[in-house]
Structure 1
Amino acid sequence: MSQPDVLDQRAIIDRREVADRLAALTDQKSHGEAVAILGQALAHGRAEIARRLTEQPGNGRAAAQATAFLHDQLMRLAFEFVGGPSHDFALVGLGGTGRGEMAPFSDLDLMFLTTKAATPEQERASEAMLHLLWDLKLKVGHSFRSTPQLLALAKKDMSVRTAFLEARLIWGNAALFDAAMLRFRKEVVAGTAAEFVTAKLAERDARHVRMGDSRYVVEPNVKDGKGGLRDLHALYWIGKYVHGVERPADLVGAGLLTAAEFRRFDRAERFLWSVRSHLHLLAGRPEERLNFEYQPRIAEIMHYADRPGKSAVERFMQFYFLNAKTVGDLTGVFLAQLDEQMGKKGFRFALPTIRRRPKRLSGFVLDRGRISIPADDFFRAEPVRLLEMFALAARETLQIHPIAMRAAARDAVLIDHAVRRDRRANALFLEVLTCRQSPEIVLRWMNEAGVFGRFVPDFGRVVAQMQFDMYHHYTVDEHSIRAIGLVAAIERGDLKQDHPLSTAIVQKQIASRRVLYVAVLLHDIAKGRGGDHSEIGAEIALKLCPRFGLDAAETETVSWLVRYHLLLSSTAFKRDLADPKTIDDFVRQVQSPERLRLLLVLTVVDIRAVGPGIWNEWKRTLLRTLFEAAEERLRLGHKQHGRSELVSLRQKDLADALGWKSSAIRAHANRLSDSYWLAEPLSWQIANARQVAAAEARFGDVKPSVTVEDDAESGATRVSVFTPDREGLFYRICAGLASAGANIIDARIHTTRDGMALDNLLILDGRNKPYHDRRLRNRLVKSVEQALTSKEPPPLPAAEPGRPRSSAFEVAPSVAIADRASTRTTVVEVNARDRPALLASLAAAIHGQHHQIHSAHIATFGERAVDVFYLTRADGRKLDQQDIDALRSALLAATTQASEAQAA
């Protein structure tokens, strides 16, 4: 393989000039001086390549080729300088080095090839050259191989085989290299195409699993992630191995891609190379993960601009995901063509034949058990068949042949207004959407083919659209499809252990399944349009639902669910569920038991589809508590019935778990208010009860008791504090944890009827991991105890140096004070960018105003913290307007100072 053409090579490195300077060196100081000369050439070349990329930010492949050229010249100069032998010796580039494409800080992958075992002279020259490259701070992967050794290893090791597949002579004996390559083709490659393809596909699948197994993760790996450069390279490797193609464009002549498909291949590769090159340059190292810190900076470099409802970075990332989708589309059609070609030679690597035949094919055909089309114009003859194919796949649980997918992707443009209004087409779409078995899989196929977005243009607007925050793990379309899959899994009973209440609701208690599925589909459909996506989405639902075939009542319910799909979670996570006013306000919005049941299921799948680790026992407890309180109120129509029964039930569960005497459990239960029994999960209640009993047995009610334990459900560490209540207590606890480096992610505070405080907090360390180390736990306990027992309130810890991951996001701090949200207290909600010690800063501001915190509800959504406090003045009254104004200023100052300290 020859080095790709690079424009104005001498501007990158003047090889003759550098060679002359190296030749003039004396023997005594030659190595150090050579490193200096080569280092200057490397720095100059990198600067020139970076300048070109700045001028043409979308031409990353040219930068990759220029970078490979620069390193080629440096290796040749180093090879000559150390007196590298030319007889029976070759310097060979492997992998990306051999392909002639390197990102700015990619590793060099080299092989020193000899006819037979290396001589001392060859080894000396090779090591001297490597020392030069290492002293240039280049990372070099290298091997010494004779031709027989290379062939023996390539037969056994697929990674060696793949690397040499792209080998290129950089310097040395061309005849030796050519002979080795010829023997490699004859002795290793010939007759092993099936083995190689199977291995590469298995390797690709394993790599995808390691990288999250989705091309729509919001911080993708540009090189190794699903839909990344490695997937395109894998297609080229397979084409080269099977057909001997010399460059990607030859895949067209090999019959593996059409000319139009190769143009898509070429555009996607060029874009991905651009992103990867900018990523390396910004990081100053071989960074492959496109994380939040770099996304807005690359968007700016590549000239993306803000648009109404969508920021520049969101537009850039949407284009990234569309290119990743293109890579997936091309992989499917490439493998389908390859499968057909290899099938004629007696080998298939795709799915085995499914012998069962569906009852009705409606004109489609089966190809080895997969749905296919009888003729290339099958969809053009009747475009509704584009929907029918996916409905058939869902109904019969069949795969779709890649040839049919290729035709569907090509013919999706046939879906026009007439098809969208077609009653049969809408019935077929609804059949796919509400399929119990595999809606997630089939909807994803429909989305990959572009049929989904064409049939529901509002959905097409959120395809590949990311949400630039640390909370959502997937693009909007992927999140919605995953949520639909979760509804189906709940309906099948697959998640009964995780969600028994939702399972019972979906299986037995809702009036219309399709209302639920359509609401889940539409709940985020207005993201990225500016304004409140819930309100805009509700208007979209009013238009789409009749088209789908829903009646007026169903349409109204779907629209309400979309409008209020965040109501249940925001109430449960940010309000005091023991306050009757909270339940009153919530029930006033919901109005009907059917809406409540549907809203619960929608909320559950919405949270779970955000990403791994988002759902936990705490959220389950809060949602169920609110649901049960609201359901009781709606069913019986009065306020307090059911609340006392629920509290009694939870106290009985605790008594059963503890096995204490009835008098002991009764005394413990009477000390705590209803809010405690309604808010805390049983496992925490058990731990709290034992902690209280042990503390009073040891200390009476004098010394504070602090325990630190793992909480498996939340994936965090629980800190429980039992101590005499006092002014500023919550601030002291927060400051003590913050000074030990802990980040509070949830806090619930309770005051017993005899003047003791029992507070439960969830924390993570500076790496967002729980505290497993016993020494660190002891440090936490001592820090909190010291904060509680010191005469003066502890100072706020200084902001830690360094740039936090959340600093890539702008979160304008805000303070909302709701005087009517509670009958007895003033409710204060603070939104700000999350950071260590934020909660301590807010608690300090409240303490400084001499207010009393009765309840705190802490929630984090990625980079955004939402902290809610139920407050009274020191005299127990609600805050007046003067108090409110002063508190708002103090809290805003606390968040602003925190942001400035962190930025510094």
Structure 2
Amino acid sequence: MKPALSAKNAFLAQNESAKSEFNHESDIYAFVTQRCQLVDHTLKNQWQHLGLNDYPIALIAVGGYGRGELHPQSDVDLLFLVNNKLCLEGEHKVGEFITFLWDAGLEIGHSVRTIAETLEQGVNDITIATNLLEARLLCGPQALFLQLYSRIRTDDFWPSSEFYLAKRQEQVDRHARANAFDLEPNIKSCPGGLRDIQTIAWVAMRYFDAAKLEDLVSYHFLEPLELEELLQCQGFLWQLRFALHLIAGRDENRLLFDLQPQVAGLMGYVDGTQLAVEKMMKQYYQTVRRVLELNQMLLQLFKQATLSHTNILEITPIDSDFQRRGKLIETLSPQLFMQPEQIMILFLHAAKNINIQGVFAPTLRNLRQARDAFTTPLMAIPACRKVFMEILRHPQGISALSLMHKHGIMSAYLPAWKKIEGQMQFDLFHAYTVDEHTHRLLLNIERFSQPDQKMEFPLGSVIINQLPKKGLLVLAAIFHDIAKGRGGDHSQLGSKDAIEFCQLHDMNSHDGRLVAWLVENHLLMSITAQRRDISDPDVIAHFADKVRTATHLSYLYCLTVADMCATNDKLWNNWKGALLRDLYFLTQRVLARGKEKPVDIRARVREHQAKAKKELLRRGIQEQELDKLWQRFNADYFIKHQPNQLSWHAEAILKHKQDEPLVMLSKHSTRGGTELFIYNSDKPKLFVSVMAILDNKNVCVNDATILITKDKFVIDTFIIIERDGSPITHLPRIQSIKKALIKALNNQSPKLPKFRKLSRRMKHFKVPTQVSFPPSPRNDTSMMELITLDSPGLLAKLGDVLFRCKINVRAAKISTIGERAEDFFLLQTTEGGKLSDRQKTELQASLVRMLTPK
């Protein structure tokens, strides 16, 4: 057997052995060391076999390999250090050596340099300089290696202060490119990842000339417990990375969705109340939060110790216990936090003083020590409760709550918060852990009050200043998801928690009931807006009955918008914003009118017709022609459309040839989307044809109103948007969609086309198809809710099933919740009535059959 193949088999065998032996209790340090030792042994044997010891070349391990840490698929970084340019024979031997390593299946990063070239490259590149700090001799002349080793430790090769500044900026740039709480985090480079631990080690080791993290305790840079915590965090992240490499079979550092369940299984997590993958990711997010805090504190301490940074920070007294040093708050006594209420007072000062943006590192060290020593929740202490309520009531209280969250004091105060720290849901909708989502919700509430946010939140910026007590909204935000992960309805469980909290904090019963109601109903407004037909007066009346008062409505609107924006940055769009605004104003009018004056449907029809007719007559449309047209339309049409839509539709229809399909896309945004209007004689599979074309054009459908005239013409209105949530405005794009739709509508025998394949991110998600039929408010229609995987061509496939079951769509609300489609339809039989129980059963079976992945 060839030596390279033998070596490759040895590496593969080690991987297989590791996979069978590895679990979350394994000594990960032994695993990465064993991998490094096998690579060392292989390299040294081949070096000797090729006779490279006869040449003036030092083989040096650098980077992670230099540290003696190798994961199954990690790069092996090598420096071939030479005195002078190699002879041809030496170059040939080095080439043979590198080829052998490639053939053995190793990923090699290598360079051949003299000492002068190495130093020059290191001075000009912080990454190369960092790799050299961890250089380790493998083979060749020790004297040559020591020359380099001594030169890179001189003051003129990256002085420690410059090295710190460069690594700090490198970290800032890296953090700007990623989020610590990404759904598919990079274990190495994301904030709080392995790079952040290494950065701490690199800057301190450069300054102290230490060989490893453990040495930093003797230099009093690290406290023993801080070292223990860092090593615990590093050990867990190493376990994740090691398992990830074994599962992926490549140098993969991203915890991709399709790999997460397999990694969780290899790590020993099992499904229970939570999925195994959710348990693993919870520990990951908790770990990166700890690393982030340690990284911030230790780098600030290093800056203080080495750069005399604190000498130039202006000191401003706050009171007898605290002062502000620059933008950081500092205690005057290291023992201050022995009085727990002083911890809360620190954050109260942060609320009162907008210049305070963080905690000074020595104070943070004291705060961490006090926090970790607590045995009872801070809210059990009356003095702490008093200060917390002051924070809650302060206009800038959210800034203090944000800082409390950052440093683990929300968990120390509120035990229920600790349970949601790092809690994630394995889906594409919830982009953040529960605690981070709630934190972002709080920040969104704060944004409502900021003048520069009026364009993004025009209604919220008005309502927020009209709320009787903003603190009640903040409290509802804290509790709205606090019961997630416990099993059961988190809204009801959270409402119960909120009541108990309000009682403990001596809040009056009225305020407590309002907070509890908001928590229990925090999903009510978003569900009504996105899944119900808010042009239906009965829907608005039902919603108004649940809301009860204008005050409840205002609080609920602010909570809903802040919640939706904080769930996933990519899913909020103008369409959703417009729906919520419309629902707010429609409900406000009902509440102001009172129940004694219900909506008069006929009056609504007459009002819309009169406004539209006035505009159409002004444009030269003959009244007789208009009346003749509108006599063909049912009352529903005039209720479900605004006067400007009625006039736009009527003018186009009257000027259009009746034997051709009429397809129009509005020039102006409708509820944040683009209105697509289709007028055509009714024909088989019309809905299917339209949905197939829109899917093929990569267009999202948000809303559909599908009506038929008395003489069997369809008048369909769709609200469509681009995949990024923006309206469709580009003229060539509009023309392309229109052309394709007209062609499809002229096709007498349409068939389902081939649809796009599921994306990589979607393939791993399993969403069982659920079909339910809630009670319909009307006697001639049936409501259907469909929950299924958001797969390409979904609406066209659904339309095809409905056609075969002889059922028509009359209205639709389309919601995409990450990987889930949660759609609402108003259905009618082809005879114009509601569905029978038998038809519902057949439809349900057909949809499950069609939409279940083969």
Same fold (TM over 0.5): yes
Equivalent in the alignment of 1:521: 478
Matched, 1:339 2:307: no
Q: Secondary structure at the match of 1:870?
A: strand
Q: Secondary structure at the match of 1:855?
A: strand
Equivalent in the alignment of 1:760: 718
Q: Secondary structure at the match of 2:66?
A: helix
Match of 1:144 among 81, 102, 112: 112
Maintained 8 Å contact 1:95/1:163: yes
Deviation of 1:869 (Å): 0.5
Deviation of 1:74 (Å): 3.3
Distance 1:415 1:187, change over 3 A: closer
Could you tell me how far apart the structure 2 residues matched to 1:261 and 1:622 are? Answer: 50
Maintained 8 Å contact 2:15/2:246: no
Q: Secondary structure at the match of 2:850?
A: helix
Maintained 8 Å contact 2:573/2:725: no
Distance 1:115 1:759, change over 3 A: farther
Maintained 8 Å contact 1:826/1:871: yes
Deviation of 1:744 (Å): 4.3
Maintained 8 Å contact 2:680/2:715: yes
Maintained 8 Å contact 2:752/2:797: no
Equivalent in the alignment of 2:336: 378
Alignment RMSD: 3.8
Question: Share of identical aligned residues, percent?
Answer: 27
Q: Which runs of 5+ in 2 are unaligned?
A: none
Equivalent in the alignment of 1:858: 814
Deviation of 1:690 (Å): 8.2
Distance 1:722 1:363, change over 3 A: same
Deviation of 1:860 (Å): 0.9
Matched, 1:504 2:472: no
Distance 1:642 1:778, change over 3 A: closer
Could you tell me how far apart the structure 2 residues matched to 1:351 and 1:436 are? Answer: 33
- Higher mean Cα deviation, 747-756 or 723-732? 747-756
Match of 2:202 among 221, 237, 258: 237
Match of 2:541 among 584, 587, 612: 584
Equivalent in the alignment of 2:529: 572
Deviation of 1:154 (Å): 1.7
Residues 2-81 of structure 1 correspond to what in structure 2 (within 5 A)?
33-53=2-22, 58-81=26-49
Match of 1:247 among 185, 192, 212: 212
Matched, 1:595 2:552: yes
Could you tell me how far apart the structure 1 residues matched to 2:201 and 2:612 are? Answer: 62
Equivalent in the alignment of 2:178: 211
Q: How big is each residue's C-alpha offset from its partner over 1:837-860, in whole Å with a ceiling of 9 and x where there is no partner?
A: 222222222222211211011101
Distance 1:676 1:172, change over 3 A: farther
Q: Secondary structure at the match of 1:90?
A: strand
Could you tell me how far apart the structure 2 residues matched to 1:378 and 1:805 are? Answer: 50
Equivalent in the alignment of 2:293: 329
Could you tell me how far apart the structure 1 residues matched to 2:306 and 2:556 are? Answer: 51
Deviation of 1:132 (Å): 2.8
Maintained 8 Å contact 2:22/2:266: no
Letter in 1 for 2:235: R
Q: Secondary structure at the match of 2:153?
A: helix
Distance 1:367 1:627, change over 3 A: closer
Match of 1:401 among 345, 353, 360: 360
Letter in 2 for 1:500: P
Q: How big is each residue's C-alpha offset from its partner over 1:365-407, in whole Å with a ceiling of 9 and x where there is no partner?
A: 4445532223332111x11111111111121131321222222
Matched, 1:454 2:412: yes
Could you tell me how far apart the structure 2 residues matched to 1:376 and 1:475 are? Answer: 33
Deviation of 1:467 (Å): 1.8
Match of 1:173 among 141, 144, 151: 141
Matched, 1:541 2:510: no
Deviation of 1:137 (Å): 4.5
Could you tell me how far apart the structure 1 residues matched to 2:641 and 2:97 are? Answer: 66
Q: How big is each residue's C-alpha offset from its partner over 1:349-373, in whole Å with a ceiling of 9 and x where there is no partner?
A: x796245x35x42522444553222
Letter in 2 for 1:598: Y
Q: How big is each residue's C-alpha offset from its partner over 1:533-585, in whole Å with a ceiling of 9 and x where there is no partner?
A: 01111111110123334311111011011101000000110011111221121
- Higher mean Cα deviation, 603-612 or 156-165? 156-165
Equivalent in the alignment of 2:369: 410
Residues 288-303 of structure 1 correspond to what in structure 2 (within 5 A)?
288-303=253-268
Q: Which runs of 5+ in 1 are unaligned?
A: 1-20, 22-32
Matched, 1:353 2:313: yes
Could you tell me how far apart the structure 1 residues matched to 2:498 and 2:139 are? Answer: 66
Deviation of 1:266 (Å): 0.9
Deviation of 1:291 (Å): 2.5
Letter in 2 for 1:757: I
- Higher mean Cα deviation, 229-238 or 818-827? 818-827
Could you tell me how far apart the structure 1 residues matched to 2:485 and 2:501 are? Answer: 19
Deviation of 1:432 (Å): 3.2
Matched, 1:816 2:775: no
Q: How big is each residue's C-alpha offset from its partner over 1:286-323, in whole Å with a ceiling of 9 and x where there is no partner?
A: 22111222222222222223343x33222221111111
Could you tell me how far apart the structure 1 residues matched to 2:636 and 2:456 are? Answer: 25
Could you tell me how far apart the structure 2 residues matched to 1:208 and 1:692 are? Answer: 55
Could you tell me how far apart the structure 1 residues matched to 2:651 and 2:11 are? Answer: 70
Distance 1:680 1:354, change over 3 A: farther
Q: How big is each residue's C-alpha offset from its partner over 1:702-736, in whole Å with a ceiling of 9 and x where there is no partner?
A: 1353769999998x998765544434321222234
Could you tell me how far apart the structure 2 residues matched to 1:453 and 1:69 are? Answer: 43
Q: Secondary structure at the match of 1:570?
A: helix
Could you tell me how far apart the structure 2 residues matched to 1:243 and 1:664 are? Answer: 90
Could you tell me how far apart the structure 2 residues matched to 1:408 and 1:654 are? Answer: 70
Distance 1:526 1:421, change over 3 A: same
- Higher mean Cα deviation, 220-229 or 332-341? 332-341
Q: How big is each residue's C-alpha offset from its partner over 1:511-532, in whole Å with a ceiling of 9 and x where there is no partner?
A: 2211111111111111011011
Could you tell me how far apart the structure 2 residues matched to 1:34 and 1:407 are? Answer: 57
Letter in 2 for 1:206: D
Maintained 8 Å contact 1:725/1:757: no
Q: How big is each residue's C-alpha offset from its partner over 1:454-508, in whole Å with a ceiling of 9 and x where there is no partner?
A: 211111211111122110111111111111111111023332111111111111x
Could you tell me how far apart the structure 2 residues matched to 1:758 and 1:547 are? Answer: 55
Equivalent in the alignment of 1:471: 429
Equivalent in the alignment of 2:79: 111
Matched, 1:93 2:93: no
Letter in 2 for 1:490: F
Could you tell me how far apart the structure 1 residues matched to 2:204 and 2:360 are? Answer: 21
TM-score of the aligned structures, taking structure 2 as reference length: 0.89
Maintained 8 Å contact 2:573/2:726: no
Letter in 1 for 2:588: E
Distance 1:875 1:762, change over 3 A: same
Q: How big is each residue's C-alpha offset from its partner over 1:54-107, in whole Å with a ceiling of 9 and x where there is no partner?
A: 5x6644343333233333333334434444354431122221121221222222
Could you tell me how far apart the structure 2 residues matched to 1:142 and 1:709 are? Answer: 58
Q: How big is each residue's C-alpha offset from its partner over 1:734-756, in whole Å with a ceiling of 9 and x where there is no partner?
A: 23445x38474534234475834
Distance 1:760 1:651, change over 3 A: farther
Equivalent in the alignment of 1:4: none
